[in-house]
Structure 1
Amino acid sequence: MKGFLRTGTVILTLSFLPYAQAVITIPFKLDESALPIIEVNINGRDGEFMLDSGSQFAFHFTQEFIRQVPNLKYRKEKARSTDLTGQVFLNDQFLFHHVYVNGMSFENVEGVSLSPWGLTLLPDGKRPEQMAIGLGLFRQKVLMMDYQQHTFTVANQLSELDIDQNEWLSLPLTLTDEGIVIEMVQDNKSYKMLLDTGASLSMLWRNNVNGTGNSISCNKIIAEWDNNDCEATQIHIKHASPGKFNVNALVIKGDFDHMEADGVLGTPFLQRHQVLIDFPHHQLMVRSLEPR
């Protein structure tokens, strides 16, 4: 009789575990700064987040959300990070040994308490105060970003996605402490650009730019801007023919010596290109999209 009771207890316990999804599609909207905002369920708690591929952590939670979400484990040490401006942050750090996001299972992911961060270009610009989901969540997954369909798709394996790989440019997945790097070129000069969904614009640091080749008008990037005290240029993905994989980038003056990267690829690049990050196979795939 005791054996039957034990078996019944196990079955009852397992029945409360959620069924793990192999593929999830998360719709997003762009906020007033052209940053992607998603609504997801994390271990039974709903929240609104910016998806920020420039963050190495899985989560940036407010203190209130940290208190609410189940199965979160605090870590004793603080997490140290730096944003584009060079400002250093020390944040509370936490860990999920196991976490469900919209029914998909993720293991051993780390997060930090939220601090507004980032570079603002406009006088009235504000740093994002939105909770965020970062690149660290997807380290064992495949993440496809489609800005024309306004969806992020996450899969356990590339084979679970319905895509024709012949339509995509395949690149090695280059991961650094700053994020995913895509090598771009202009007039035989190479630039290491960070893929950053948390950047409203694509930008090159002025100190790293040789000359003014392929100069373009700034109002091609921001319609309200003129060319007074403003510089912009065009670059393209290395090992790809110019045209399909062109990027218009602002050339930004400032002190970026703390960064190894030469700039960032932001929302305008993602609006013209589907991007697929295949962590299990260490590859980055890019597909040019026709403008709508």
Structure 2
Amino acid sequence: MIGRAFVVAALFGVTTARAEVSVPVALEKGIPVAQLTIAGATYPFTFDIGSGRTVHLTREVMAAIPGLKLTGRKVQSSDLTGKVRDEEEFVIPDLVINGVSFGEVTGVSHEPWGLTIGEGAGPPPHSVIGLALFEKQPFVYDQSRLELRFGTPLALGKEWHPMSHERAHEGIVMTLSNPRGKYRMVFDTAANLSLVKPQSVQAQGDQTAKCDLFGPARPCEYVGVALEGGVPLKAYLMPLPDRFAADGILGADFFQAYGVYMDLANRTVALKPARPAAK
């Protein structure tokens, strides 16, 4: 969605999987969407590890899942615009996705959210799978190959590099830097660009560059950041809510550059340089 319209979706499970499942991913407005099979039917799901919940389900999907029960609770969530919305909580006794059991899952109804910039922008109107679905389920997301894999712990080869990271309330956080500053950035697969808070840039006395990514009527600025020895990325200055304690988010440009492996139960995050699939 790098063009005239931009969407950032970010919000503030469990499995006995025995076989690896590989699911193709399509990019809608730069946001990954996987076709997942639940209860014999296939539905589009936005893959959003910027969401700390397990699943956000549309009414259509909720109605199709056997045993799903509403708890009667309303759960409040907020996004990067600071907007707060009420979602209905439910419990699924055993959520099975593409033949993989995730056990009992507590999720919420899907209500649209996201930071939107530009005409015609908007997040995909699909159900969402979030980071918490994978609390006990390792996964690999390879955006360059348009692939999501889960179901079996991955034996890491030498091309994978375990990374220092932290688990914060916003999600998985890694530090990227340049010669003038360091930035704590949150993984967000449903963000189609990387963002950084202006106050974080100012506090470090970092240098910005001008850009016109949002069109001539909305001049912008960015800072260059990278992992040590890694691919240089542009993080665009954008105000974020006060409750967002990290310095920014890592979006599609980061995930296009790196395949990501996560095993949250064993506190492991690993990256490998992306290799586009052969044509």
Distance 2:64 2:151 in 1: 27
Q: Note the aligned Cα RMSD (angstroms).
A: 2.3
Give per-residue Cα distances to partners, 1:25-65, cap 9 Å, x unaligned: 1101101x200111111132321111111111221111232
C-alpha separation between the residues in 2 aligned to 1:197 and 1:96? 25
Residue 35 of structure 2: which of 33, 39, 48 is its match?
39
- Which residue does the alignment assign to 2:185? 193
- In the alignment, the residues of structure 2 paired with residue 66 and residue 91 of structure 1 have an alpha-carbon distance, to the nearest angstrom, of 13
Gaps of 5+ in 1: 1-18
Matched with 1:218 is 211
169, 175, 186: which is aligned to 1:183?
175
Identity %: 29
Between the aligned partners of 2:255 and 2:97, the Cα distance in structure 1 is 23
**Which is worse superposed, 108-117 or 227-236?**
227-236
Partner of 2:126: 130
Taking structure 2 as the reference length, the TM-score comes to: 0.85
1:139 equivalent among 135, 139, 147: 135
Which residue is equivalent to 1:232? 222
1:130 and 1:206 map into 2 onto residues whose CA distance is 31
Matched, 1:261 2:257: no
One-letter amino acid of the counterpart of residue 256, structure 2: Q
Shift in Å, 1:290 = 5.4
- 1:163-204 CA distances to partner (integer Å, 9 max, x unpaired)? 41x222212452222111111223353211110011011111
Q: Distance in 1 between matches of 2:224 and 2:105?
A: 37
Name the residue aligned to 1:62: 58
Q: Give structure 2 stretches of 5+ with no counterpart.
A: 1-15
Q: Which has the larger radius of gyration?
A: 1
Match of 2:6 in 1: none
Q: Does 1:30 align with 2:9?
A: no
- Distance, in Å, in 2 between the alignment partners of 1:58 and 1:229 is 37
One-letter identity of the residue aligned with 2:235: A
Distance 2:109 2:183 in 1: 32
Structure 2 residue identity aligned to 1:274 = G
Look up the match of 2:67: 71
Cα pair distance change 1:218/1:129, threshold 3 Å: same
272 and 226 in structure 1: CA distance in 2 versus 1, 3 angstrom threshold: farther
Q: Rate the CA distance shift 1:114–1:277 in 2: closer, same or farther, 3 A.
A: same
How many residue pairs end up in the alignment? 260
Which structure would you say has the larger RCO, counting Cα contacts within 8 Å and 6 or more residues apart? 2
SS in 1 for 2:266: coil
**Cα pair 1:273 1:286 within 8 Å, conserved:** yes
Match of 2:96 in 1: 100
- Give 1:6's aligned residue: none
* Partners of 1:109 and 1:136 within 8 A in 2: no
Cα distance in 2 for residues equivalent to 1:150 and 1:291? 9
Residue 211 of structure 2 contacts residue 219 of structure 2 at CA under 8 Å; is this kept in 1?
Answer: no
When normalised by structure 1's length, the TM-score is 0.81
Q: Is the 8 A contact 1:218 1:227 kept in 2?
A: no
Secondary structure in structure 2 of the residue aligned to 1:208: helix
Which structure carries more helix by proportion? 1
Partner of 1:12 in structure 2?
Answer: none
